[in-house]
Amino acid sequence: MLFVCLGNICRSPTAEGVFRSAAVRAGLGKRVLIDSAGLGVQHIGWPPDPRAIQAAKRRGYDLAKIRGRRVTATDFSRFGWIIAMDDANLQALIELKPPDVGGYLGLLLDFAPDLGTREIPDPYFGGPEGFERVLDLVEASVPGLLERLQDTLGDQ
């Protein structure tokens, strides 16, 4: 499971942390490779934004050890699921994806259709409330994603 946003310091590490916690609680922590990456190069090696770390910590998630990295061509074969945070990142991933590689490529909010939005907004240029909003949206999406993943793992 690879979560992707532009810089890999706000949305995708938040999704990684929340999903990792849910996967561990569901007993899948050892069965699923979970990571996050960005499409940009400006934050490679950086920890998540301090506001993302603090907001996540208040809800019981630890993002402090995550470091920004860029999506690579090998990610498409390493991860059966690649989940984008917004349409622009999804489109970029579609363009990067090698034609001979399968797997799931889609938006995180597709797993929470009742929310009425498809994109997780980038909180980087706003205040702390944006990071809380990201967490709200990610937490609402993860149960549906986890259920779908469990359905596919049940076949293995």
The residues annotated as belonging to the active site are 5, 11, 122
17 within 8 A of 66, measured Cβ to Cβ = yes
For residues 141 and 137, give the distance between their C-alpha atoms in angstroms, rounded to a whole number. Answer: 6
23 within 8 A of 32, measured Cβ to Cβ = yes
For residues 137 and 131, give the distance between their C-alpha atoms in angstroms, rounded to a whole number. Answer: 10
43 within 8 A of 12, measured Cβ to Cβ = no
Q: In 3-state terms, what secondary structure has residue 129?
A: helix
For residues 89 and 86, give the distance between their C-alpha atoms in angstroms, rounded to a whole number. Answer: 6
Amino acid at 102: G
Strands 81-84 and 35-38: unpaired
For residues 79 and 32, give the distance between their C-alpha atoms in angstroms, rounded to a whole number. Answer: 9
